[in-house]
Amino acid sequence: MIEEFGRLSKGDIISKFSDEHEPDPIAEALAEIERFQEEEGVFSSHRPSRLEFPLDRQQIRNRLEHSMEQLILEATDRCNLRCRYCTYSGNYRHRRVHGTQTMGWDTARLAVDVFADASRETEAPALSFYGGESLLAFELMKRVVGYAAKKVNHRLAFNVTTNGTLLKGEVVDFLVENGFLVMVSLDGPPEIHDRMRVYPDGRGSFHDIMSNLLALKQNYPDFYRRKVGFAVTLSLLDEVETVADFFAKNGELFAGRPVSVSHVDSIDTELFERGILPESDAGPLRRFYGGIEDALIAGTELSPVAKGLIGNNLRKLHERSPDPLGETVHANGICCPGARRLFCTVSGDLTVCERVNQGLTLGHVATGVDSDRAAELVEEYVALSAPDCLNCWAVRMCSLCFANIFSDHLDMSRKRTVCEIMRAQVLNNMRLYCSVRELNPDAFDRSDEAV
């Protein structure tokens, strides 16, 4: 009935559904839909006519020249682990494989120079180290931090993403001294973590990481509490409850720590054909979502994994714009390329972000960022996406971006596969959000970090 509303007249809708319902309940339902449409802007058949990026060419140029937010250095393309689902494992088409290089000092220095110049007006600039395993490039990191602290504006913050195996000794002292934000990859209990996150000889990395975390917490409790977070890759959906239990039960290490949860990228990969990952059963994930729903209705705090899995999306839904859809809609999740995050590869290419890695080049450390190229990328993305997005009900809840469209070019067939996944997630989140608010209307109004 909702689908026909606005397309057919009320009389036609009543006759279309007359075999299943009496006219009066249909008329009441239509009046209800109409009321929601007027008061809440939902069930509208209106579609916007323009997909736009919020910045024009000049504004893109200004962002790239004065207020760049984050430089991410691919400090090395080497890694001491061989995680089976790794993007660089050779199981992904269009992605590099593990390499042997560490970024040279000249490349790093030039990248910092580009960033120092381009972040003059940035409130809180950040310099992040990425890999491979960034801590394998510790000598370079020390030199870069010393140089960048003098060169970039005084509010500069440092981040590192690490597999946690080298998080000890002088490395830790250095990270603490420089106030690094440290994101450690940890997938759950040993039987889950060690199935995927292994050394080249096949040994699991769980126990090394846990003993490093315990020592870090013991030696620097305040730093641990404020600066350490975790990245979980959920390789099998049917293990979600076990993973969540692990983080909930080891409260001394994980309570109050941010946990981000991602899934293994299932596109352009041979992980499934090669039997590295079996297809998972989504039943346990549905049950887990049921538990999240119960917790939200009861007003109790979500577990770290539940928050990492869905918290941001629910908050985004709750804080959505109440305005009806106008003629123009913004291009979903794309950022100003190179301004929110500028990725510098080990050889000095400047690209859109670490997720597209070597693709979508915006320049080189020797020549800087080409803002015209950034603007062209946005225009190309918008032109390709507009026919689909303007007719998509999820357009204001969608967070797809360059990383989702890029294979070895801006690839709409790849993007459409991700669109299906995105729409299913948004629908799921909306169902959960509505069921919770029906029974606990204030569930999302809490000012603490419960959701």
Question: Smallest distance from the beta carbon of 381 to ligand SF4, in angstroms?
Answer: 10
- Least Å distance, CB 253 to ligand SF4, is 19
As measured in angstroms, the least distance from the Cβ of 113 to ligand SF4 is 27
Closest CB to ligand SF4 among residues 107, 161:
161
Q: Which is nearer to ligand SF4, 63 or 193 (CB)?
A: 193
- Closest to ligand SF4 by CB, 133 vs 265, is 133
> Among residues 88 and 230, whose Cβ is nearest to ligand SF4?
88
User: With 0-12 CB in 10 A as exposed, 13-18 as middle and 19+ as buried, what is 356?
Assistant: buried
Shortest separation between residue 399's beta carbon and ligand SF4, angstroms: 8
> Please, which residue, 236 or 400, has the CB nearer to ligand SF4?
400
Dihedral angle, C-alpha 286, 287, 292, 298, nearest 10 °: 140
Nearer to ligand SF4, 371 or 385 (CB): 385
Provide the terminal-to-terminal Cα distance of the chain, rounded to the nearest Å: 34
Closest separation in Å from C-beta 141 to ligand SF4: 16
Which residue number, 68 or 136, has a Cβ lying nearer to ligand SF4? 136
Q: How far apart are CA 393 and CA 383, in angstroms?
A: 18
Task: Kindly report the three-state secondary structure assignment for every residue of 292-348.
Answer: HHHHHHHCCCCCHHHHHHHHHHHHHHHCCCCCCCCCEEECCCCCCCCCCCEEECCCC
Minimum CB distance to ligand SF4, residue 151 (Å): 28
Neighbour tally for 318: CB within 10 Å: 14
Are β-strands 228-234 and 259-263 bridged in parallel, bridged antiparallel, or unpaired? parallel
- Least distance in Å: CB of 163 to ligand SF4? 4
Q: What is the distance between the alpha carbons of residues 183 and 169, in angstroms, rounded to a whole number?
A: 17
Q: How far is the CB of 318 from ligand SF4 (least distance, A)?
A: 19
Which residues of this protein are in contact with ligand SF4, per CB under 6 A? 79, 81-83, 86, 88, 131-133, 163, 197, 332, 385, 388-389, 392, 394-395, 398, 400, 419, 422-423
* φ and ψ at residue 160, rounded to 5 degrees: -140, 140
Asked whether 360 and 352 are in contact (CB, 8 A), the reply is: yes
3-state secondary structure at position 135: helix
Q: Which two tokens stand for residue 4?
A: 């026909």
The whole-angstrom distance between residue 446's C-alpha and the CA centroid of its chain comes to 24
Q: CA gyration radius for the chain?
A: 24
CA-to-CA separations, 59 to 121, 226, 340, 375, in angstroms, rounded? 14, 35, 14, 10
Residue 306 or 353: which CB sits closer to ligand SF4? 353
- Closer Cβ to ligand SF4, 177 or 380, answer by number: 380
DSSP of 377-445: HHHHHHHHHHHHHTT-TTTTT----HHHHBSSSB-HHHHHHHHHHHHHHHHHHHHHHHHHHHH-TTTT-
- Least CB distance to ligand SF4 at residue 283 (A): 25
Q: Round to whole Å and give the CA distance between 316 and 313.
A: 5
Task: Rank residues 69 and 74 by Cβ distance to ligand SF4 and give the closer one.
Answer: 74
> What does each C-alpha distance from 67 to 12, 34, 151, 332 come to in angstroms?
56, 45, 15, 22
Smallest gap from Cβ 131 to ligand SF4, in A, equals: 5
For the chain, count helices (H), then strands (E).
17, 12
